[in-house]
Structure 1
Amino acid sequence: MRETTTVRAKVQLRPVRPAGWWFDALLLTGFAALTLALAEGRLHDLDLAVSDWAYAHDPAPLYWTARIFNLLGQGGWLLMPVSGALALAVAWRRHSVRPPMLVAGAFVLNYLTIGPLKLWTDRAAPSATVKDPFLPPNEAVEIFNQLPAGAYSMSYPSGHVANAIVWYGVIAVLLIALTAGRLSPVAYRLVRFAPPAILLVTTTYLNFHWLTDGLAALMLGLVLDRLLRRVPWDDLPLPGALRDWNRPFISAP
């Protein structure tokens, strides 16, 4: 008898909106243009003016409200643990190893992009003007500086904002899978878009980041989010040993 073989369907990238790579190219061009402008000393006055305004308008109730909302961007003890827990819940519900793959992909993508960019651009945070190393504002705002390694030399781009775009996008996908598609469109949009917007405002207001740090992170984070969304997580080939845990979770009903 002739042995029949199973032909695996070609793995294709998932669609994103707006469709095509032109939007990714536009975002990367904007990120590069903003970085070049800062390297040439442009937009420093804008960053300094926004920072000065924030320092001059920080009553205790508003300040502590911003601090609380800023916790939405804590990756180590909030975003990654929540994403991991949701991925495990979806994996158990769907009987699939694929949800943790999404979380691992987000972690690797962030680790390989945001951190190295911070080290390369070597920009101090606004708070470095009032804390050690007590830099003059016109020096702290510079990019591609020659600062010693430390917490105040990794400001550009904002990790809070970029991480929020990526991780809350992951959380939204996992929530849809966990609720079997019953998550309302309003709740989905709130999960995806509200935290990054809140973090852009709070990190700037609290002088954790310059305004342009957050704007750069918005563009970079959207590119990373679109890359993750393109990956066909449900169709990636897995070893035969995992055939019993090989079910889809994004496209599953």
Structure 2
Amino acid sequence: MVVVRETTTVRSGARLRPVRPAGWWFDAFLLAGFAALTLALAEGLLHDLDLAVSEWAFAHDPAPLYWTARVFNLLGQGGWLLMPVSGALALAVGWRRHSVRPLLLVAGAFVLTYLTIGPLKTWTDRAAPSATVKEPFLPPGEAVEIFNRLPAGAYSMSYPSGHVANAIVWYGVIAVLLTALTAGRLPPVAYRLIRFAPPAILLVTTTFLNFHWLTDGLAALLLGVVLDRVLHRVPWDDLPLPGALRDWDRPFISTP
């Protein structure tokens, strides 16, 4: 959990902030898991699992449960929820702390997710489960394939789940900003709830709604945690800024 600094300090050099578990070995482990999962899908080893879960979800979607899942799935909307909320919190923290540094955190999260999740979706070229019941009406055995060489479009960008991966990153950003905004008084239970509940909810809802295959969400968990750890390693309080921003150069977070 981050602790808010109340005074400006002299920054002699930017050092990576610690994360838990410490060390790069855990990042390598997660990336190896992502690579192994992708390879297994390329070899067709997990297609039966994805198809079985998808078939069950299609057969067990009564209206009340379906619409409840649709509402909770809105937690993963990046364009009109996660990024605007993060931006608003960054502005509030920046105004309170008299610093532009909270905006650097939001910009960093945007760049990091933009350069990783989208290109991976394009490269893996996997259809969503719903492509079997809507345009382009693919057979399930074809839709579940990865590296499918499908035409560009919504049904060829399923892997990994953007909802889940983005939730891990952006709710991590929101938790940091809320901690700074409350001057470190955000209860630990609330911090953990913000960090971990939305990705778990989105893993369940995107799978249940057949927006994604189960393995899309599992891959997104692995990738999202790596991106989150990279983002939290960056010493946002110590990055060099232009002299023109000297009056708006106060720190807003510290190492956990």
User: Does structure 1 residue 190 correspond to structure 2 residue 188?
Assistant: no
* Runs of 4+ deviating beyond 4 Å: none
User: Does structure 1 residue 92 correspond to structure 2 residue 95?
Assistant: yes
CA shift for structure 1 position 251? 2.4
Question: 2:128·2:156 contact (CA, 8 Å) conserved in 1?
Answer: yes
Q: What does residue 34 of structure 2 align with?
A: 31
1:165 counterpart letter in structure 2: I
Q: What does residue 200 of structure 1 align with?
A: 203
User: Which of residues 126, 140, 144 in structure 1 aligns to 2:143?
Assistant: 140
CA shift for structure 1 position 11? 1.3
After superposition, the C-alpha distances for 1:81-131 in whole angstroms (9 at most, x for unaligned) are 000000000000000000000000000000000000000000000000000
CA shift for structure 1 position 146? 1.4
User: Does structure 1 residue 179 correspond to structure 2 residue 182?
Assistant: yes
Structure 2 CA distance for aligned equivalents of residues 251 and 106 of structure 1: 18
User: Does structure 1 residue 67 correspond to structure 2 residue 60?
Assistant: no
Q: What does residue 239 of structure 1 align with?
A: 242
Question: 2:77·2:163 contact (CA, 8 Å) conserved in 1?
Answer: yes
TM-score relative to the length of structure 2 = 0.95
Gaps of 5+ in 2: 1-9
After superposition, the C-alpha distances for 1:18-66 in whole angstroms (9 at most, x for unaligned) are 0000000000000000000000011000000000000010000000000
User: Does structure 1 residue 209 correspond to structure 2 residue 212?
Assistant: yes
Aligned to 1:116, the other structure's residue is in SS state helix
CA shift for structure 1 position 8? 5.4
TM-score relative to the length of structure 1 = 0.96
Gaps of 5+ in 1: 1-6
Aligned to 1:19, the other structure's residue is in SS state coil
Q: What does residue 15 of structure 1 align with?
A: 18
Q: What does residue 169 of structure 1 align with?
A: 172
User: Which of residues 33, 42, 47 in structure 2 aligns to 1:44?
Assistant: 47
2:111 counterpart letter in structure 1: V
User: Does structure 1 residue 77 correspond to structure 2 residue 80?
Assistant: yes
Bigger relative CO (Cα 8 Å, ≥ 6 apart): 2
Structure 2 CA distance for aligned equivalents of residues 78 and 215 of structure 1: 23
Q: What does residue 4 of structure 1 align with?
A: none
2:140 counterpart letter in structure 1: P
Structure 2 CA distance for aligned equivalents of residues 88 and 9 of structure 1: 26
Count of aligned residue pairs for this structure pair: 246
Cα RMSD, aligned residues only: 1.0
Identity of aligned residues (%): 89
